[in-house]
Amino acid sequence: MSVLVTDQNAAATATIETAVSDNPEALAAGGVLTIDLAALRANYQIISKAISPTRAAAVVKADAYGLGADKVAPQFYAAGCRDFFVAHLSEALKLQPHIGKDAVIYVLNGLQPRTEKLCADSNIVPVLNSLEQVRNWVDLSRSLNRKLPALLQLDTGMSRLGLSEQELQELLANLSLLEAIDVKFIISHLAAGDNVQSPQNHAQLERLQAALKLLPHYAVAFSNSGGSFMEHNYHFDLARPGIALYGGAPQENRPNPMQPVVSLQVRVIQCRTVPANTLVGYGGSYETKAETRIATIAVGYADGWPRHLSNKGSAWYGDVRLPVIGRVSMDSITLDVSALPEGTLKLGSLVELIGPHQTLEQVAQEAGTISYEILTSLGNRYHRIYINDILA
């Protein structure tokens, strides 16, 4: 469920409640997830400026971090992006109709066997992470009698994807494999780019530079969101930011330079007053110490709100913090709303879970996870509002 708000002035001044008050689908949903497309475009420009003259790509895997690649990717394209990264070939195929034909889509996980022809026919560029993937792509190139484009990933210390040092040596011993394809970039991935103090960053950079001395001259893509705000020697020719584009902090323990993209408001289902020594929620994990006003809201772990926030975390109403009490259930959470005047919250009232009073990072920290997981877990039961869409 989604609606586009195209009047920027109205969207900026109207409350969420007013924006959805006459929309039956919005009223039927448990909450409202607002995605600010202007903030997405601004974040792309912030990163582009930080890494200039390096080019900025956009990582739009996992349905643009759960926000809808069909809505999000065109905004990055309008902001000047022409390089898009996804994780799977299936994601690339779905994304293609939504961006210009001059854009290039890269598949980070590379290709599964017998999908190479589909990828080549679709003009999608795979990342080759192993000798097996290299050989499969070379076989297709030779059968078609043309050099197919690809990215070659080197493992510089993350031990996740990419050619190991031994595999690189095997490849260098058979340069005819590289000569059979069109390597657009050598890539690697920073494992600790969000922590500028980590010695792993410099160690990976040194390993990448050593490997590049052994290879023919290729363009290089290395930095992720965190790396985009590190020294320029990490930037090379192409950066591929992800979480920072969506408002997440690119680096730990530093001010977040990105604009917030999402806000989340959830509806009240029921309010009640209970006496002291009342058990709340599954397992009676919380017991009231005094008479307490409780509001139950329409969100739970089925909507991506972590169960780890049971008996911790909060919602907000205006400037008032409303602590979570009891366990997070599949479809509901209970809040202590005693700090609000009685009658303030009613059936259908909206409370803030992500917004000016509570950032993605704050929610993630309280849940013992990272902003990536919070953002990509937000479910499809929220009513979605896309504001500031210059393409509508």
Cβ distance 316 to 230 under 8 Å? no
Q: Identify the H or E element spanning 351.
A: strand 350-354
Locus of tokens 């690809």:
150
Tell me, yes or no, if 382 is annotated catalytic. no
Q: How would DSSP label each residue in 11-22?
A: HHHS-HHHHHTT
Q: Residues 44, 49, 61, 234: which is the catalytic one?
A: 61
Cβ distance 124 to 107 under 8 Å? yes
55: three-class secondary structure by DSSP: strand
CA distance 311 to 298: 17
CA distance 151 to 125: 7
93: three-class secondary structure by DSSP: helix
Tell me, yes or no, if 282 is annotated catalytic. yes
CA distance 338 to 115: 58
Q: Residues 49, 101, 282, 346: which is the catalytic one?
A: 282
CA distance 276 to 287: 8
Task: Characterize 238-277 residue by residue with b for buried, 16 or more Cβ atoms within 10 angstroms of its Cβ, and e for exposed.
Answer: bbbbbbbbbbbbbbeeeebebebbbbbbbbbbebeeeeee
Q: Which residues are catalytic?
A: 61, 282
